[in-house]
Structure 1
Amino acid sequence: MLKLRFYGDPVLRKIAKEVLPGDLTEELLKEMSEIMYTQDGVGLAAPQVGISKRFFMYDIGEKLNIVVNPQIIEKSREIESGQEGCLSIPEIYEEVPRSVKIKVKYTDQNGNEYVRDLEGYEARVFQHEFDHLNGKLFIDYLSLIKRRTLKPQLDEIKEKGEEILKKKVPQETKSV
């Protein structure tokens, strides 16, 4: 049974390995999507459930997208800041700069290849989840001063991640 991993878990800082044919089962994807939806997230990367493989899923309200072995081919120079949160870092929401438009290439769980131009919120979510595959968290984009300010909360998440998630009050801001 999969379980959500929290800030401080070493798997969140590893560079994930390529997904090979047969790595993804329907059961695995179903279990991951249940975790994502139950926790009111819009995205979930494999490292967030302890699997160091290059895939993630997201749903911005249209349909569940399974993204396997993704690449970001191009990023716009235009950057926009927007609020982000993360299921692995509960109750922290901060402004993060991201490229407004990106061009991506990936396959789905069935090996179908996609090349897509994403923009706005979908581009933000994709970049956030893609970062997880490279061991990067949204708080890494924050200033040193801001990270120092968040240190007591981050230390608490390291110690009590699961407890914090259980008592989490639903917010309007969804975690990516």
Structure 2
Amino acid sequence: MTVMPVRLFGDPVLTTPAREVTDFDAELRNLVRDLDATLRDQQGSGLAAPQIGVGLRVFAFHDPQVSGHLVNPVLEFPDEAEQDGPEGCLSMPGLYFDTIRRLNVVAKGFTLHGDPVQIVGTGHLARCLQHETDHLDGVLFIDRMDTARRKAAMRAIRDAAWNRPAPPRIKFSPHPAPGRRP
């Protein structure tokens, strides 16, 4: 179980659809453990495999009522009810924006052992399940916003300290350059 670095906005893995899991093996079990360890370390609600650079359809989640993981999730919506409220993402640290999501969801998928599982979520849990499944489809939550909210979000992302390039590192050779005297 390893805490992995979380990929930040702009990394192409975050907008690339993830591949379906076909092997329920030790590698998958290690991935789920790494997702869980990283999510706990980051104190988030959910973390998808692409956010740690792995292009597979797996995510871990922690909610006050239930915690776990889903492999190859598929969402169903039992009604049309919606919620509008703040949403954040570990790939955009410290930023929260109001986002419209469905209020109720049924997530079906598999455990890390390949056993079928179903999670019924409402409110925060429903938001989390939708957010993480979007990650597996290469969709970011800012893609769900209307134009005005998305513009405001993009301004905040551009201004975020984590989105600034590191200053270039300049190394000086300890060897004299040809034609120059020390």
Question: Amino acid of the residue matched to residue 17 of structure 1?
Answer: R
Tell me the residue number matched to 2:21. Answer: 19
The question of whether the paired residues in 1 share the 8 Å contact of 2:85 and 2:99 is answered with yes
Q: Is the 8 A contact 1:24 1:109 kept in 2?
A: no
Higher relative contact order (CA 8 A, sep 6+): 1
Q: Which runs of 5+ in 1 are unaligned?
A: 162-176
TM-score w.r.t. structure 1 length?
0.82
Q: CA deviation at 1:86?
A: 0.5
Q: Structure 2 residue aligned with 1:81, among 74, 84, 88?
A: 84
Q: Which runs of 5+ in 2 are unaligned?
A: 167-182
Q: Sequence identity, in percent?
A: 31
Q: Is the 8 A contact 2:32 2:59 kept in 1?
A: no
Shift of 1:43: 0.7
Bigger mean CA deviation after superposition, 99-108 or 55-64:
55-64
Q: Which amino acid counterpart does residue 20 of structure 1 have in structure 2? A: T
Shift of 1:29: 2.2
Q: Which amino acid aligns with 1:94?
A: F
Deviates more, 1:143-152 or 1:71-80: 143-152
Q: How far is 1:154 from its partner?
A: 1.6
TM normalised by structure 2 equals 0.79
Aligned residues: 161
Matches within 5 A, 1:1-176: 2-21=4-23, 22=25, 24-155=27-158, 156=160, 157-159=162-164
Question: For 2:62 and 2:21, how far apart are their aligned partners in 1?
Answer: 21
* TM-align CA RMSD: 2.1
Give the whole-Å Cα distance in 2 for the aligned partners of 1:151 and 1:73.
Answer: 30
Deviation at 1:96, TM superposition (A): 1.0
Contact 1:99 1:123 in 2 (8 A): yes
Distance 1:76 1:44 in 2: 26
Structure 2 residue matching 1:61: 3-state secondary structure: coil
Question: For 1:140 and 1:127, how far apart are their aligned partners in 2?
Answer: 13
CA offset at residue 160 of structure 1?
Answer: 5.2
Q: What residue identity is the alignment partner of 1:8? A: G
Shift of 1:123: 1.0
Q: Which amino acid aligns with 2:61?
A: Y
The amino acid of 1:16's aligned partner reads A
Residues 160 and 77 of structure 1: CA distance in aligned 2, closer, same or farther (over 3 Å): farther
Partners of 2:124 and 2:142 lie apart in 1 by 18
Larger radius of gyration: 2
